[in-house]
């Protein structure tokens, strides 16, 4: 009996094209960006897909201006995004901090490549993981997702928009050169089957509206510029009406709230995928393109009698500690393969606190970590 096909259209797409499809399905109608390898295809496809659905595409003069335009469009009520790679992502950090403080929903796609600086423009890397968490200065919460397949490029983009709108915050989607340029068959669901979440708008008269008032969710309703609601926007720490403040009680209340709106919804935000972890004695924790190599290695290890399992991190930040820690503690060893010098492995070691042996497998030459490399380490450690 043939397996039933998922509903919707079946297409052959590369990851960057699937990101565009996900953005459009989520309701994105504004894109501002600057071409950069290996994210350029996102801009190229957006340039003709957005106008076809009454959206707006703008090629900006640089990445700083790109995110500025995205923030402005979002304040005007339009779901907005940009896409870049490492050097451009570095330039966006000041405006990223502004969006965090002003609580402006938007999506930033970073297709990672080798670095630092111009680095290896056409080669794969996962070197921006810590920058995604800490790139902009100051204490700030952040949501970062990672896609590992072309299908996930679609679904993770939809989810990035939904989380951004739901929690009034920028959301970063990390892909990498291999994920972005891998072309494979995916299924695009019918529009009615895609869950789309929109920001909560005020339901009170304009005179009663307090733009940054606290509530049980920690996420105040967001008015649209031009709808008649008074709404002051600033990158300065502000009071509940949006005006700059230096009062200690108001500063503490604001910063605590923007952290709380994320921390009290971790169950909704954090996502991992598990494979054969129930009885795993050796564990692989991976994300992005490396998780595909890891999945193959784990399956091959099982054939050799090695009780291996995989945790694929879909949410990178906030780190899904409560989901990872119990599985980690049951294993004798965990291997963390990464296309960097060990950025996520540091976080795993921090939460592990010496309970399980942690090993790393790092590659920084612009090439993939292969399933055989992971398999050899699993067999050796077993």
Domains of the chain: 9-193 (3.40.50.970), 271-381 (3.40.50.920)
The owner of tokens 């923030």 is 71
Predicted pLDDT of residue 4: 62
Mean pLDDT for the stretch of residues 301-323: 97
Predicted pLDDT of residue 3: 56
**Per-residue pLDDT reduced to its tens digit, 85-131:** 999 999 999 999 999 999 999 999 999 999 999 999 999 999 999 99
Spell out the residues 6+ positions from residue 48 whose beta carbon is closer than 8 angstroms to its own. none
Q: Distance (Å, rounded) from C-alpha 59 to C-alpha 67?
A: 11
User: pLDDT class for 382, splitting at 50, 70, 90?
Assistant: confident
Q: pLDDT at residue 19 above 60?
A: yes
Q: Distance (Å, rounded) from C-alpha 271 to C-alpha 128?
A: 20
User: pLDDT class for 282, splitting at 50, 70, 90?
Assistant: very high
Mean pLDDT for the stretch of residues 24-43: 98
> In the Cβ-directed half-sphere of 179, how many Cα atoms lie within 13 Å?
31
* Average confidence score pLDDT of the chain: 96
Mean pLDDT for the stretch of residues 244-260: 97
Q: Which residues pair with 315 in a beta bridge?
A: 145
Mean pLDDT for the stretch of residues 151-157: 98
Predicted pLDDT of residue 1: 47
**Selected residue with higher pLDDT from 4 and 252:** 252
Q: pLDDT at residue 70 above 70?
A: yes
Q: Which two tokens stand for residue 212?
A: 């940054």
Q: Which residues pair with 107 in a beta bridge?
A: 81, 171
pLDDT-above-70 percentage for the chain:
98
Mean pLDDT for the stretch of residues 343-364: 96
Spell out the residues 6+ positions from residue 236 whose beta carbon is closer than 8 angstroms to its own. 101, 244
Whole-model pTM: value is 0.96
């Amino acid at each position: 009996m043939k397996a039933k096909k998922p509903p919707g259209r079946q297409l052959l797409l590369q990851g960057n094209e699937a990101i565009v499809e996900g953005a459009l399905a989520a309701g994105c109608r504004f894109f501002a960006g600057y071409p950069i390898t290996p994210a350029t295809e996102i801009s190229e496809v957006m340039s003709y897909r957005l106008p076809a659905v009454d959206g707006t595409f703008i090629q900006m003069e640089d990445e700083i201006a790109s995110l500025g335009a995205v923030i402005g469009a979002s304040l005007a009520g339009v779901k907005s995004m940009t896409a870049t790679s490492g050097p451009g992502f570095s330039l966006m950090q000041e405006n990223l901090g502004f969006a965090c403080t002003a609580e402006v929903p938007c999506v930033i796609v970073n297709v990672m490549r080798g670095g630092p600086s111009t680095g290896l423009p056409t080669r794969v890397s996962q070197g921006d993981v810590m920058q995604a968490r800490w790139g902009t200065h100051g204490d700030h919460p952040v949501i970062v997702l990672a896609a590992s397949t072309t299908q996930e490029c679609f679904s993770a983009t939809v989810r990035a928009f939904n989380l951004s709108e739901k929690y009034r915050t920028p959301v970063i989607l990390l892909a990498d050169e291999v994920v972005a340029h891998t072309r494979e068959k995916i299924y695009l669901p019918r529009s009615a089957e895609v869950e789309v979440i929109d920001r909560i708008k005020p339901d009170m008269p304009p005179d009663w509206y307090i733009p940054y008032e606290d509530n049980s969710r920690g996420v105040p309703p967001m008015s649209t510029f031009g709808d008649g609601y008074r709404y002051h926007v600033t990158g300065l720490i502000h009071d509940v009406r949006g005006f700059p403040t230096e009062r200690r009680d108001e500063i503490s209340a604001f910063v605590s709230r923007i952290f709380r709106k994320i921390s009290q919804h971790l169950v909704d935000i954090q996502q991992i995928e598990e494979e054969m972890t129930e009885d795993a004695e050796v564990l692989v924790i991976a994300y992005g393109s490396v998780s595909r190599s890891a999945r193959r290695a784990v399956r091959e290890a099982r054939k050799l009698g090695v009780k291996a399992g995989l945790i694929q991190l879909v949410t990178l930040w906030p780190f899904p500690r409560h989901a990872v820690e119990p599985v980690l503690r049951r294993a004798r060893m965990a291997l963390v393969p990464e296309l960097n010098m060990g950025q996520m492995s540091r976080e795993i070691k921090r939460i592990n606190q010496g309970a399980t042996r942690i090993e790393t497998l790092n590659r920084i030459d612009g090439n993939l970590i292969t399933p055989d490399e992971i398999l050899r380490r699993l067999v050796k450690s077993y």
